[in-house]
Amino acid sequence: MEKLEFTINYETYHNLAELSDEDRLLCEKAEAALSTSYSPYSKFKVGNAVLLNNGEIVLGSNQENVAYPSGLCAERVALFGIGAKYPDAVISKMAITAYTDQFKIEQPVTSCGACLQVMAEFEQKQNTPITVLFYCIGGKILKVKGIKSLLPFLFVENRLSVGA
């Protein structure tokens, strides 16, 4: 038996003022994306802003459906849109935030496992790490470089790739 350990490196910021201009803009765009959230069931809005290497910022928001499994998280809305509209673009970073009027969100909200797996696929496809900012409106921001830090046992099977 061998006992192993993961170490995750990330940065914590206390507010938007501590961020670089680019990171602050991305968080503000994620907050603006909340306005397009369709979340009549959970009343929990999630916004995402993704910066591409061509300078384009793509927004996404969660889209619910009365048949719950049919909805989609903000991250996957943005990422699948990027795959369809900018198939060769490289994602450099993304910011994710959430809001509800049901209670005060006091910590950054992180992505679900399904979104992390999709993020990991994009990262593997582009062979470049994606920086993720988890932004709590009016509060702390977590900054992580690379999806593997967030999902260390991500599913990868290169033999399933085309031409393998």
Burial (CB count within 10 angstroms: exposed 0-12, middle 13-18, buried 19+), residue 133: buried
Q: Is 28 a catalytic residue?
A: no
Choosing from 28, 75, 121, 123, which is the catalytic residue? 75
Tokens of 110: 């992180």
- For 130-159, give the DSSP string: -EEEEE-TTS-EEEEE-GGGT-TT----GG
Residue 11 bridge partners (DSSP)? 143
Tokens of 35: 């306005």
Task: Report, as residue numbers or ranges, the catalytic residues.
Answer: 75
